[in-house]
Structures are given as structure tokens and as C-alpha cells.
Amino acid sequence: MYSHDVIIVGGGLAGLRAATESSKYADTAIISRVHPLRSHSGAAQGGINAPLGNAGEDDWEKHAYDTIKGSDFLADQDAVEIMTKEAPERIIEMEHWGCPFSRTKEGKIAQRPFGGAGYPRTCYAADKTGHYLLVTAYEQVVKRKIKVYSEWFVTSLIVDNNSLKGLTAFDIRTGDFEPFKAKAVVLATGGAGWLYGKSTNSMINTGSGMVIAYRAGVALKDMEFVQFHPTALYPSCILITEGARGEGGYLLNSKGERFMQRYAPKAKELAPRDVVSRSIQKEIDEGRGVRNLYVHLDVRHLGREKILKGLPGIRDIAMDFAAIDPIKEPIPVQPAQHYTMGGVDCNSKCETRIKGLYAAGECACISVHGANRLGGNSLLETLVFGKIAGENAGMFSSSLEDGTQNAEGIIQAASESEKKRNSGLMEGNGDEDPSIIREEMRALMVDKVFLFRTKTDLEEAKTKLTGLKQRLKHLRAISDCKIYNLDLIRAIEVEEMLDLSEVIVTSALNREESRGSHVRLDFPNRDDLKFLKHTLAYKTPDGLRIEYSDVKITKYPPEERKY
């Protein structure tokens, strides 16, 4: 049995930042299914928001207002205030730790315009900001000699009497189960993009941290709010940063028309992501897409030098994955799932309802993004709330005498039962293949639970998901090899992803209004009277239960959202 005061699940930006902070107070370890440097944070391109004012006047209140308006007023305003006030400090800290931000003429951190923001607020390092931030955060973990369990797969949380006791996990490199004892756990496992057949996410983004919290009794909040990024490369759905439009790129339909002028006359290409994604989808649906499949993102007019300097990464991506050089040709793009606004229900201290369990980053829902996240705010959330979660988990665990004293029996038993569950999969005698079920689910989510939703579609999706869950009970035998058993990992993931899809569909079905990223064609308007509320989805023995909680409104009363 391994034992640490604080265990951080996930080695992306939120997890690394949490670990750095927590290690000041308590013995801390990171456990991650991949080496931290393989985390999805590294794929973030465009930048990280902070009202530094390096490219024009700005302050936290403007940043907060833009974030809240962008969220379609579903964000908790106290949490947004914390995030935007702490933003400069967190970014300066990363700079002091060596993050190679691009620079202004005066030598300050460079900032570029991003969607839904009134000012050029997005600090950037070319178009590889996430990669550089991830490397920088990892360097600090190496410097502090924080223990990292790389390539371990966490299967469940151990909770007794509403207190966190530890977790169960197996070492992917040996296949061995090992219980972990902990006084506090921070979930920082990222989003659930892989539920969708079209997604910009890494293939490891299956939402596993969300599921283990959900199964332990924590609600998943606002899961119906899924962000679709307007410009994913066709057909692979690899991300093409919003920075391409921030630098001045145009979106063109098959007639060569800058169609965003029609949908958002003022902001045009730099309207928030939900608005731009729907506009692109409309162009395609109404027959003005190129080959009826995608639209063009044109950056040619920016010129070779600006592209090579500001967008070298997306040039490589376009050349490697679409055989197109953006200096010479427009880039084919389509909307694709990009971000999970919802997540593990927690407050602005990152606390969940289970004592000792915290969440931060994309897997958490605090909520700072509400119904639609602004570009550049996700990296910011990981650092601000990663630190807060690490601090609170570290302080909480050091204040405990030894809460896990008598828990060894429970922890051992939990690990044994998880081990049995895995062996059960290897003894399956059905004929269903998990990868086929997964691909049917991913196609269903794109067909029925995408940008435009209706009651009919959502009900159909729900029925089909129930069918897929039934089929999952009749799986073929999963490979019983011990070392690096991908067949096993991917079978476990399918079960987890089906649970999450069910939560998304049920939450979307119950929210009979259109707000931010969640658009119901049968309820086209925002309904503040009934739905200015957070959805809470609980797993109960009788199935999924939906509840609602109030949105915290401090300074900015809801108003119509126009761009």
C-alpha cells in the first residue's frame, strides 16, 4: 500500500500546479495515466488570459465582465472574481519560472486579441502556449522532487463516512493493482472530449476523473454545456487556434464570403466560440460549405513572416495532417468538440461535498465558464484553481491528525474488489466489442447531442445509450496480458464514457432553454426565470437524479448577450 498526505490525480497543468503548492504543506504525489509531459494541456495553442494591460488598458473587472457575459451569465461571479484578480500573479509566476512568452517591443509579455474579449488580453508564446506552460510547470515539479506515479490508471476513489481515504489504481506497466492511502485527493484529470466522434482533444481525455467522482457520490455540474471549437482541421479535428483569427485570419464560405459579418457584425471572426461554431455549422447546413463539409480559415493575407512568427505550430499541423501550407492555401476547418464546461461539482475553494476531495482544471466545475468558456480562460483556470486546490488540500491534510488510521482495511478491500472487476472483464463470454460500442457512442453524440439539440434527438440519444449500456454487459473476453494492457484500459474507458454521455444527454434534455453552448431548437430563448441555475446530476441506486443549484450573482445582473 502506498501512502501520501495528498495525491493529485492527473499531471497536466492543473495537477502540476496543485502539486507544487500542496508540497509546501504536505507529502504530495502525482498519479497520472501518462507521463505528465504527455498531458493534454500541452496541446493548448493560443494563450492564457490576464488583464496585464501590456497591449492597452485593462483591469480585472473588464476581464470578469467579459468572462461572465461569455458564460451567458451562468458562471458563478464570486469564482470569476477570484480567477481574474489572481490572473496576473499566476502568469507572472510562470514567467518567473521561465515560461518563454512572446514579447512586446518593450520586452513585456505579448498579448493578442481573442474571442469575446474587449481588449487584447491573451498572453501567448507563439501558438504553443500550452506546451511551454506545461514544460515550465513540470520543471518546477522536478525541481521540488515531487513523486510522480507515471502510467498508473486510477479506477476508483475510496470514501468512508463522507471522508476521502484513498484510491485504487493499477500500474499500467505491470498490471498490478495497488491501493493508495491519502488524506486528500485533488482530481485534475482534464475533460471528456473523447465522448464525441469529432473532438480536438487528446485520446486520453475520456473524463475518468469525473466518472470516479460521480460514482463516489459527487454531483457532475452543468455537463450539458460542451464547447465546440469553430476551427478544427478537416478531417482529423486537430485544433487550429483561435489565435489564427486573433492575428487577423478570416472565415470564408464556398462563395469566398466573410460570413461572420452576417452573424456578429461587430466582433465578426472574434465573436465567442459558441457563436462562431453555430455560424459555421449553419453555413455548411445551408449549402455554403466547401464540398458541403467545411469552411475555409484564410490567413494568407497576414503574410509569410507573421505566419511563421505567430502561427508556426498551426502551419506544421496543416502541412502534416491536411497537406496544406497556410501561407499559400486556406485551411479547411469545421466545428468539433473542444472543452467540457461542466465537471465535478465544487466550490471556489475547489472543495467537493466529500471531505478531503478536491477538483481543479477542466475536470472541475467551479463554475468560471458557465454556459460558454472564453478562449484563453482554460489555461488560466488550471493555474489559478490548481494552486487553490493544492493549497487547500495540503493545509487540510496537514491539519488532520491521521484520518486514515483505521482505514487500511477499507482501502485494501476496495482495491481487491476493483481487481476482481478487472478480472471479470477478462472472463467475458459475450460477442460485443468495446471499440464498436465506443465508436457508436461517439457517432451518436455528434449526430444527436452536438451544436443544435432537440427533445426528439436527445430522447433518441438516451434510448440508444441505454441500448449500448445493455450491450456492454455482453462483452467478449478482454485481453488478459498483464503489461500495458490497452484492451483492458479501453474497455474500462467505454463504460466510463457511457456513464458520462448519459449525464450529458439527461442534463441537456432537462434544460429546456438555449444558453451559451447549449442550444435547443425547440426552446430557442434563454429562460432566466426557470434556468438561471446549475444542473447537478447525481448517481443514485435508482438511476440518475437531476437537481439544480443557484448561480452566484454579485455585480453583473444578466442581460442580453450581443456581439
Partner 1 sequence: MRTTPDKIRLRILRFDPENNLEPHYDNFTVPTKPRMTVLDALFHALEKQDGSLAFRYSCRSAVCGSCAMYINGRQRLACNTQVSALGSNITIGPLPHLRVIRDLVVDLEPFFQKIDMIKPYFEAREPFPAKEILQSQKDREAIDVAIDCIDCAACFSACPLSWTDPNYPGPAAFLKAARFIRDTRDSTMNQRLALVACEDGIWRCHTVFNCADACPKSLNPTKYIQYLKRKSTFSRRGRSAQN
Residues that bind partner 1 (CB under 8 A): 34-35, 37-40, 42-43, 92, 95-98, 100-109, 128, 131-132, 135-136, 139-140, 142-143, 173, 202-204, 235-236, 238-239, 313, 316-317, 320-323, 433, 435, 478-479, 481-487, 490
Give the whole-angstrom CA distance, residue 132 versus residue 275.
29
* Cβ neighbourhood burial of 405 (10 Å; 0-12, 13-18, 19+): exposed
Give the whole-angstrom CA distance, residue 257 versus residue 251.
8
**Which long-range contacts link 314-320 to residues 24+ away (Cβ below 8 Å)?**
314/45, 314/127, 314/240, 314/241, 314/244, 317/233, 317/238, 317/239, 317/240, 318/233, 318/240
* Cβ neighbourhood burial of 543 (10 Å; 0-12, 13-18, 19+): exposed
**Min. distance of Cβ 336 from partner 1 in angstroms?**
12
Residue closer to partner 1 by CB (options 253, 485) is 485
Q: Which residue has the cell 495515466?
A: 33
Residue closer to partner 1 by CB (options 107, 287) is 107
**Min. distance of Cβ 386 from partner 1 in angstroms?**
18
**Min. distance of Cβ 175 from partner 1 in angstroms?**
9
Helices (H), 312-354: 312-322
Checking DSSP bridges between strand 226-233 and strand 250-252, what pairing results, if any?
unpaired
Residue closer to partner 1 by CB (options 108, 419) is 108
> And the C-alpha cell for 162?
463522507
In this structure, the dihedral spanned by the alpha carbons of residues 474, 478, 480 and 483, taken in order and rounded to 10 degrees, is -150
Give, to the nearest 10 degrees, the angle between helix 77-96 and helix 129-143.
Answer: 70
Give the whole-angstrom CA distance, residue 224 versus residue 239.
22
**Min. distance of Cβ 277 from partner 1 in angstroms?**
20
- Total residues belonging to the chain: 563
**Min. distance of Cβ 234 from partner 1 in angstroms?**
10
Checking DSSP bridges between strand 177-187 and strand 2-9, what pairing results, if any?
parallel
**Min. distance of Cβ 238 from partner 1 in angstroms?**
4
**Min. distance of Cβ 172 from partner 1 in angstroms?**
9
In this structure, the dihedral spanned by the alpha carbons of residues 374, 379, 382 and 385, taken in order and rounded to 10 degrees, is -60
Residue closer to partner 1 by CB (options 131, 369) is 131
Residue closer to partner 1 by CB (options 137, 284) is 137
Residue closer to partner 1 by CB (options 39, 372) is 39
Of the candidates 188, 179, 158, 211, the one whose C-alpha atom is nearest the C-alpha of residue 390 is 188
Residue closer to partner 1 by CB (options 479, 549) is 479
User: Would you please indicate which residues are annotated as catalytic (active-site) residues?
Assistant: 273
Checking DSSP bridges between strand 111-112 and strand 122-123, what pairing results, if any?
antiparallel
**Min. distance of Cβ 513 from partner 1 in angstroms?**
35
Q: Is 329 helix (H, G, I), strand (E, B) or coil?
A: coil
Residue closer to partner 1 by CB (options 145, 255) is 145
Q: Is 148 helix (H, G, I), strand (E, B) or coil?
A: strand
